[in-house]
Amino acid sequence: MNRILALSLVLLIGSSAIAQDQDNNFNKAKLHLANHKLNQAIPILEKLWAKDSANANLNYLLGLCYVKEDMQIPKSVELLETASSIYTSEYESGSKTERRAPEYVYYYMTIAYSKNGQCEEALRSLNKFYQVYTYNDEYYLVDGQKWVRECNLDRKEEEEKPEEAIASAESTAKENAEGATETIEKTAALSKEQEASLEIAQEIKTERNEPQIKERLIPFDDWDELRTREVIYTTMTSLYGIQVAALIDLKPTRDFENLKNVEVYVDENGIFRYVIGRFPYKKQAESLLAKIRERGYEDAFIVDVNRPNYEQEVLGVGAENINWHIQGSVDFRVQVGAFRTIVSSSVAEKYLEVDGIKENQQNDLVILTVGNFAQYDQAAAYREELKSIGIEDAFVVSFNLGNKIPLKEAKEFAESNQKKQSDTHQDAGAKKKARADF
């Protein structure tokens, strides 16, 4: 009996470890997608799909990767068709157990069909996308129209080419298979109308930006406190910037060494995108890109910030600004309680147990702290004193200019600015003693 129990436990632990590994790989793949590293996302998704080919979500993600990389287009059609059979309007992309596909499966099917020369199917897929699309951004609808239009232009061009020109093109293509399409276009005897059509098609290809997936990843857990503002541009044309990072977790802009003027945007995926600059011409952005890469950001690339992914600029979390820097000095205190609207009996009791409680308003939360120290070790020692008298849930927090800040950064600042910290707190103590105590 004990052996059976032990074996069951081993199997349970093993299966849990496998599931955890798959979850980690899934998150890695989606982060690669957000960073435009599709070549790194594809092998991960291929392995996950091989183990679970019935998963519509994996079919969807792998299919869109093939589409965006312009590879294995017939396979991408199969994957997206499979995914669309389990489409849902209640897609939960943040869930690791989601096995269905979102509305965007029809958008990528439109592109896949167009690239595969299946123009009627592309149009049907686009019409379906129009029916199910819930987001109010027209970019994806307009882009889908361009793909269908381009598909029909390409097909019309093939149908109207003289047989001699096609034969000549095919002959050249045998010598250079990689440039077959370009050779056909160059060697075919085209009418003025056909040439105009080709110019329009080329213009569409040039102006199109890589479509972005819109799944939501939510490792960042403070969405209620996230402050953003909608960015409304006065121009419909492209504005080029340099994206230096796309992260699942939010971090202050000051953490990007050797860089300034970093702005943060959050997209519908919950991905934080860090961008520098807004230029009307791509050449201008290319100059900045070269300088940024010289400073060690090799993965930086040019993006169009006049696109849906860059409409919500991040200002900060709660009272803390995304681009804040420590000013003056930091204070280490011991937190003994907190409340929002109703003071619980356990919090109220703290007022009768601890002297010197101070209320600190942080948005809709009131934090109760005691003490004010220049260094972390001093606050930690006081915390232990409070624990010895029964305040077991006491812990050290840090403030700057009245706002709560990350403890790690406060400790680093205090350690590297010990004299400034000491002088500031001595002055504050002297002023306090000078006051009359009635």
Domain CATH number, residue 169? 1.25.40.10
Close Cβ partners of 295 (under 8 Å, ≥ 6 residues apart): 258, 259
Both 158 and 277 in one domain: the answer is no
Please state, in angstroms and rounded to a whole number, the distance separating the CA atoms of residues 175 and 170: 9
Both 177 and 261 in one domain: the answer is no
Both 248 and 110 in one domain: the answer is no
Both 10 and 156 in one domain: the answer is yes
pLDDT, position 158: 59
Both 149 and 289 in one domain: the answer is no
Q: Write down which residue in 293, 321, 349 finishes a domain.
A: 321
Share of the chain above pLDDT 90, in %: 24
Highest mean pLDDT among 53-67, 165-179, 252-266, 302-316 belongs to 53-67
Our CA dihedral for 334, 336, 342, 346, rounded to 10 degrees, sits at -170
pLDDT, position 361: 81
Share of the chain above pLDDT 70, in %: 72
Q: Write down which residue in 291, 321, 351 finishes a domain.
A: 321
Q: Sign of dihedral through CA atoms 380, 382, 385, 387?
A: negative
Element (H, E) at 46: helix 38-51
217 in any annotated domain: no
Both 359 and 300 in one domain: the answer is no
Q: Sign of dihedral through CA atoms 270, 271, 276, 278?
A: negative
180 in any annotated domain: yes
Exposure pattern of 267-290 as b/e (b: 16+ CB <10 Å)? bbbbbbbbbbbbbeeeeebeebbe
34 in any annotated domain: yes
Q: Write down which residue in 176, 207, 238 finishes a domain.
A: 207
218 in any annotated domain: no
Residue 30, domain extent: 2-207
Both 365 and 300 in one domain: the answer is no
* Total-model pTM: 0.42
Question: What CATH number is attached to the domain comprising 370?
Answer: 3.30.70.1070
Q: Which of 154-163, 230-239, 406-415 has the lowest mean pLDDT?
A: 154-163
418 in any annotated domain: yes
214 in any annotated domain: no
Both 255 and 273 in one domain: the answer is yes
Both 36 and 147 in one domain: the answer is yes
Q: For residue 55, is pLDDT > 50?
A: yes
Residue 404's DSSP bridge partners are 399
Please state, in angstroms and rounded to a whole number, the distance separating the CA atoms of residues 361 and 22: 42
42 in any annotated domain: yes
Both 125 and 17 in one domain: the answer is yes
Q: For residue 290, is pLDDT > 90?
A: yes
394 or 165, higher pLDDT: 394
Q: DSSP 3-state assignment of 391?
A: coil
213 in any annotated domain: no
Both 199 and 66 in one domain: the answer is yes
pLDDT, position 111: 94
The total number of structural domains in the chain stands at 3
Residue type, 110: T
Both 290 and 175 in one domain: the answer is no
Contacts 24+ apart (CB under 8 A), 404-410: 404/319, 404/320, 404/360, 404/362, 404/367, 405/320, 405/324, 405/326, 405/330, 407/376, 409/326, 410/326, 410/330, 410/332, 410/376
What string of H, E and C letters represents the secondary structure of 324-339? CCCCCCCEEEEEEEEE
pLDDT tens-digit series, residues 92-138: 765 667 889 988 899 999 999 999 999 889 988 888 887 777 654 56
Q: Sign of dihedral through CA atoms 350, 351, 352, 357?
A: positive
